[in-house]
Structure 1
Amino acid sequence: MSANLKPGSQVNTAQNPEKTKVLILGGTGEMGQWFTRFFKERGYEVTVWGKSGKTEVARKLEVPFASDLEEAVPESDIVIVSVPISVTEETIAEIAPKMKAGSLLMDFTSIKVKPVEAMRKFAPSGVEILGTHPMFGPTIPTIRGQTVILVPVKGRSEKWFPVIKELFEEGGAHVEITTAAEHDRLVSVVQGLTHFAYITIGTTIDRLDFDIKKSKKFVSPVYDIMLDFVGRILGQNPYLYALIQMENTGVLEVHEAFIKECEELSRLVRAHDEESFVKKMKAAARKYGDTAHALRKSDKLINSRITEYETILNSVGKVCGFFHIYSGKIHVGTLEKAGLDEIVLTKLVSKGTSLHIKNKFVKLKLENLRMLSESELWKWRKENLEHSTRDISVLIPKGADPVVILNAINTNKQLAACEISDMYKGINLGDHKRTNREYCKENWEDYKGNWGDYKGNWDNYKKFNLIGTKKEREETKRLGVTYRITVFGDCNASSVEADVTSLLCGLGCRIREKNLKQKGKPETERKI
């Protein structure tokens, strides 16, 4: 985009993302890194900056680090502020005036009133602004299914708002549009109350000096899930969560209501006022609305955990694959053991793996893993293992379709592939009625003077005439097909070949003599 683009000029970056320069302030932080990858994967030219000066993060992300903001800001088409809430306004005040006309300024903070007001105040009139709040953390692998809140500003978001909205929606996100004030009011409960309650549970457990590890021996599904969410919040950046509580002015009102309700419920319990407790709980249920829907959703969550664990238990002794959610690595091998918290795999040897890795045991924490689906595992094995190929030549039944037989072979899950490598017709038996004289007459011009060739063909002719019975003659009319099977590298090729051969015989195919003779030869396999 031209540096002298006039306010109101058409923005074409939606069609040409590779020409769009994105600068992420705070790009070396966790969320900044997440969105660096997001924009980079979609063809945008991304540069990052961080106050800590972690250029090694930029190198890891394979993007430039902006060493000079005085130069980087005016050159950028999109500037994203992804810094701590406490310094968001001052960061906006510093960089917004340097932005070029036609560019876009966004903030990714958890509150919106103050950042949007700062962007409106400090960004030049030719610079568009868009408040943005991704409602997920950096541990989420993809934006698909996640919510992103956009806060467009009337008269200041016309060109870029549809571009950014489309970008997120094409990634699979649910985009919610609201005002800054409405955002902060809703988020005071969505984040403010939720985080406050979970953190309070954590601090209460600490105050009680309660043994969480021991309690898991008596765990219920709801308690187990609740503990995971408490741990999830407690394990993240405490400064971020402190600022979410302190910077949104609506949170204090929420705290006050929450504490009053806790005190009231506690009073009812101490007084053994069962009816009042029940009345209060029923009133809350009516306000909540569709509690049956919530029950079904939570049952689904609980059952999915149970189902996943049962699937893993039933896979012990089998080849399985697991995707590590945080490292992005895929581990494939024979599942030796499955416990409540971890699994043990004997890893398969993939292409290019050192020999000392063979039969290596690896322990993996279940909470970090997602089990690969059958199709994902098949794809990994096909792409990463060294396979063996075998050719099986058969005469197929008269009228049979070789492709239908091929499809039947491909149902074998130990095959990486199967294809028809050759097809041929049997000998034309009409020739066997010809006389010696007719044969010589037809071929004499080709073979006179070359008795060796003639004699060889004559021998073939004589052999051909040995096919005497009607059954034998009919056999030679059958279509011959060679099926080339590719056996997964972690399977026994001879055993798989025997299985496929048995299938072919069961379908009425006749194994060619050549194929049978090869059975007695030493096994030679072609690696691919």
Structure 2
Amino acid sequence: MGLKGAKVGIIGGSGRMGSWLGGLLEAQGAEVLRSGRSSGLSAREMVRQCRIVVVSVPIAATIPVIQDIGPLVPQDGLLMDLTSIKKPALDAMLRYSHSQVVGLHPLFGPAPESKGLSIVVCPGRGQEGLDWITGIFQKSGIRLVFLEPETHDRMMGIIQGVNHFATLALALCVKDSGFNMRELLDCSTPTFRQILDRIRAMLEQPSSLFGSLLMDNPFAEGSLQTYQQSCESLERIIRGGDRKAFQGLFESLDGFFNKEGETS
């Protein structure tokens, strides 16, 4: 029996990304069940009714949930996850289930419009399940990026780990500057106002999300070490007043970010 027409269950289906995926699947005719704090349906009860199961819970809860429900997913079914760190989740799904397995990471927050968005796909086990979910996304206009889970996590060490670390470090620097927000805003350029808006938006989200991205990704620490080394190299140039080295640094970065991008 194929997966077309199979009932889909989303653990964490009332959360932001679970709700997004559920709506996307329903728009293409799938029957979707949701378990979560407001659904009244437990994860195990829901999984027993579904052949396709998606785990959409916070990073720290992902592995325990997979351990609990993985054995309940039928062998001809499909188990997927939406977490931002892929290798531990994919390894757990392969270990604790006998079903087909696909790891997913939407490279965006919840959005009503899917066109122009991208999602990472990490194949795990089984071709039919992979074809089913990628077909869903392709029909919705979502660009697919196929990656090995370890490669994905190494990239996220920079894209998420260093990115969020640098934002938090700047936030600490601003807080400890001795200026209040009103004074800073009065003198801010449009670019700096955008940075402050980004800091505020980050701080409106749960700290546990960013803690997990920085502490649970096994490759984040190495990326942060590289970032700190880069900061130290730049600081040495500035402290030494070495304008020639500073110009060389700019030219090197321009070659990477601009000229290389033009030919890629």
- CA distance in 2: counterparts of 1:207 and 1:47, whole angstroms: 48
After superposition, residues 267-282 of structure 1 pair within 5 angstroms as: 267-282=236-251
Q: Which has the larger radius of gyration?
A: 1
Aligned AA for 1:66? L
- CA distance in 2: counterparts of 1:107 and 1:221, whole angstroms: 38
Q: 1:261 to 1:78 in 2, by over 3 A?
A: same
- CA distance in 1: counterparts of 2:57 and 2:41, whole angstroms: 15
1:98 partnered with 2:72:
yes
Residue of 133, 137, 147 corresponding to 2:109: 137
Aligned AA for 2:103? G
Give the drift of 1:244: 0.6
Identity %: 28
- Alpha-carbon displacement from aligned partner over 1:400-436 (angstroms, at most 9, x marks no partner): xxxxxxxxxxxxxxxxxxxxxxxxxxxxxxxxxxxxx
Residue of 47, 54, 77 corresponding to 2:38: 54
Which is helix-richer, 1 or 2? 2
Aligned AA for 2:38? K
Residue of 210, 220, 223 corresponding to 1:254: 223
Give the drift of 1:290: 3.1
How many pairs were matched up? 262
Specify every segment of 5 or more residues in structure 2 that has no aligned partner in the other structure, as ranges: none
Q: 1:141 to 1:203 in 2, by over 3 A?
A: farther
Q: 1:234 to 1:278 in 2, by over 3 A?
A: farther
- CA distance in 2: counterparts of 1:114 and 1:177, whole angstroms: 17
1:109 partnered with 2:79:
no
Say if 2:3 and 2:132, in contact at 8 Å, map to a contact too: no
Aligned to 1:148: 119
**TM-score, normalization by structure 2:** 0.91
Say if 1:113 and 1:181, in contact at 8 Å, map to a contact too: yes
- CA distance in 2: counterparts of 1:166 and 1:287, whole angstroms: 35
- CA-based RMSD of the aligned residues comes to 2.0
- Alpha-carbon displacement from aligned partner over 1:181-231 (angstroms, at most 9, x marks no partner): 111111111111211112221122112243334333333332233333333
Residue of 177, 181, 201 corresponding to 2:170: 201
**TM-score, normalization by structure 1:** 0.47
Q: 1:291 to 1:227 in 2, by over 3 A?
A: farther
Aligned to 1:42: 28
Aligned to 1:31: 17
Say if 1:202 and 1:234, in contact at 8 Å, map to a contact too: no
Q: 1:291 to 1:214 in 2, by over 3 A?
A: farther
Aligned AA for 1:151? C
After superposition, residues 479-498 of structure 1 pair within 5 angstroms as: none
Give the drift of 1:271: 2.5
- CA distance in 2: counterparts of 1:24 and 1:113, whole angstroms: 20
Q: 1:12 to 1:91 in 2, by over 3 A?
A: closer
- CA distance in 1: counterparts of 2:167 and 2:217, whole angstroms: 18
Give the drift of 1:12: 4.8
- Alpha-carbon displacement from aligned partner over 1:132-156 (angstroms, at most 9, x marks no partner): 0011112x33222111000012xx2
Aligned AA for 1:47? L
Residue of 161, 181, 204 corresponding to 1:235: 204
Which is strand-richer, 1 or 2? 1
Higher relative contact order (CA 8 A, sep 6+): 2
Give the drift of 1:292: 8.4
- CA distance in 2: counterparts of 1:70 and 1:85, whole angstroms: 19
Specify every segment of 5 or more residues in structure 1 that has no aligned partner in the other structure, as ranges: 1-8, 14-18, 56-64, 294-528
